[in-house]
Structure 1
Amino acid sequence: MIPDISAVLSARLGQWADSQGIPVAWDNVAFEPPSGAPYLAAHDMPATPRTLDLSLTCRTFPGVYQINVVVPAGSGRSSAGALARQIAALFPEGQELAGDGFTCWVSGPPAIFAGVTTDTTYTVPVSLNYRADIVS
């Protein structure tokens, strides 16, 4: 079994974003960025799975889930920083998220990185490490 960790993390982010009225750009889904308003862009970056035992029955599936907070360039850092802190609080270290036949854990504190400016946007990445262990 290969767990769909991205679906679990995306569901949590999506529910929160919907409640806040913030659009999310999901991987491989058509998206038109809102003009002059913040939005999020979510990306799952799975790492190589590992087998933990000699009987080949316990596997761990680690990775990084990154949510980019995107605001218009020139709007300052405070609005992006505030959204980034809210997202980090949504995924605290130790958070358990149940999936279809597995549980995923946030395996470290979320990191909020320095913002990156382009001609039109200011982006603040929020990354969290996750892990799911599967015993067959």
Structure 2
Amino acid sequence: MEALYRHLNALVFSPPLPIAWTNVAFTPPADGAGKPKPYLRATSLRSPNGRPTITRSVRYAGLFQVDVYWPLAAGEQAARDIAGAIAGHFDNTRLRNGALTICVDERPTDGPSLIEGPMMQIPVTVRWYALA
């Protein structure tokens, strides 16, 4: 998972978007008037391991989700553009993590917008696998 986190962290936006990492203290950003500002949230979900029959290698797989949080009433297109940039950044990617190579063979998908408190959320789902 560390390679996926590093890859996300290498993506640069202007202005920069803070990232809420799993199990790391985070305060959502706000402007001087207390209005929420955009940010990203990264979470991961591992799938059960399986054994391919040809190579006898263990297959690791899972989902890496990056949520784009955008203030309500600030439009949707800019948030969709960020979601698209994230999807493009991970599309057809190979990432080394020690002895493993993490593969993203299909373009990540961005889901429907959701309302969460004062923010709109757009989930970007990255499907990955690695063989060991």
Provide the secondary structure at the position in 1 that maps to 2:8: helix
- Show the 5 A alignment for 1:103-114: 103-114=101-112
- 5+ residue gaps, structure 1: 1-5
Amino acid at match of 1:47: S
- 5+ residue gaps, structure 2: 31-35
1:21 corresponds to 2:16: yes
Kindly indicate whether the alpha-carbon contact (under 8 Å) linking 2:108 and 2:126 is maintained by their aligned counterparts in 1: yes
Give aligned-pair identity as a percent: 26
Kindly indicate whether the alpha-carbon contact (under 8 Å) linking 1:102 and 1:133 is maintained by their aligned counterparts in 2: yes
- Show the 5 A alignment for 1:30-41: 30-35=25-30, 36-41=36-41
Task: State the alpha-carbon separation in 2 of the partners of residues 33 and 88 from structure 1.
Answer: 23
> In the TM superposition, what is the alpha-carbon distance from 1:53 to its structure 2 partner?
3.6
Structure 1 or 2: more helix by fraction: 1
1:64 corresponds to 2:63: yes
Task: State the alpha-carbon separation in 2 of the partners of residues 88 and 20 from structure 1.
Answer: 19
Q: TM-score under structure 2 normalisation?
A: 0.89
Provide the secondary structure at the position in 2 that maps to 1:51: coil
| Aligned residue pair count | 127
Root-mean-square deviation (CA), in Å?
Answer: 1.8
Provide the secondary structure at the position in 2 that maps to 1:16: coil
Distance 1:18 1:112, change over 3 A: closer
Deviates further, 18-27 or 108-117: 18-27
Task: State the alpha-carbon separation in 2 of the partners of residues 59 and 71 from structure 1.
Answer: 39
- Runs (4 or more) in structure 1 with deviation over 4 Å come to 17-20
Task: State the alpha-carbon separation in 1 of the partners of residues 14 and 76 from structure 2.
Answer: 23
Amino acid at match of 2:81: A
Task: State the alpha-carbon separation in 1 of the partners of residues 67 and 12 from structure 2.
Answer: 13
Amino acid at match of 1:25: A
Kindly indicate whether the alpha-carbon contact (under 8 Å) linking 1:25 and 1:40 is maintained by their aligned counterparts in 2: yes
